[in-house]
Amino acid sequence: MVDQASRMPPTKSASPTPLKLVAATDLFASMQRLHNSVARRAFEIFESKGSAFGRDLEDWLQAEAELVHPVHVDVTESADGLTVRAEVPGFKAEELAVGVEASRLTIAGKRETHEERKDEKTIYKEHCSDQVLRVVELPAEVVAGRVAATLRDGVLELKMPKVAPAKKVVPIGSNVA
């Protein structure tokens, strides 16, 4: 069987779009709203199952799966920095927020699409909302003020320089007898 992707002609990739970084603390309100949305949906699922106790985790995970799309990340480390690549297909730069602290990366995004189609008698309105949220513990401390973020073909790439190790000066004592 021939792979569908191998039959498709290669596409030109768009030029990368720079992203604006925000303070990680500014993402807290967004994370809280998302948490509340998941909690509301989990409760709806709980009620739809007859309010039977004992399935809390299952209801919560189902609500998360419905409301929050996973963000797959690759983290690579070099001698002087970290590179993170995160899959965020369909998102535009202005729909994403990236927060960087010394050893933590937060990626949050929300997009909404509205579509309206008309025929002779009926109007169709479709609304879609997608959200992403991912918090990544970094393997090394980075300089948050020097992070470069770009978005190209649904992949968010962050280049983060590592914090230079502190130079340790060891005093040399003399033994004078």
Taking each helix axis from N to C terminus, what angle separates 28-48 and 56-67, rounded to the nearest 10 degrees?
A: 120
* Structural element, H or E, at residue 150: strand 148-152
What's residue 18's pLDDT? 62
Q: In what order do the strands lie in the sheet with 104-118?
A: 21-22, 96-100, 104-118, 123-137, 68-69
Please give the order of strands across the beta sheet that includes 17-18.
17-18, 148-152, 155-161, 81-87, 73-77
User: What's the pLDDT at 139?
Assistant: 94
Residue whose pair of structure tokens reads 């470069």 in the numeric block: 148
pLDDT in tens, 127-150: 667 788 888 999 999 998 899 999
Domains of the chain by start residue, with CATH:
15-26+68-161 (2.60.40.790)
Average pLDDT over residues 117-133: 71
pLDDT of 98: 92
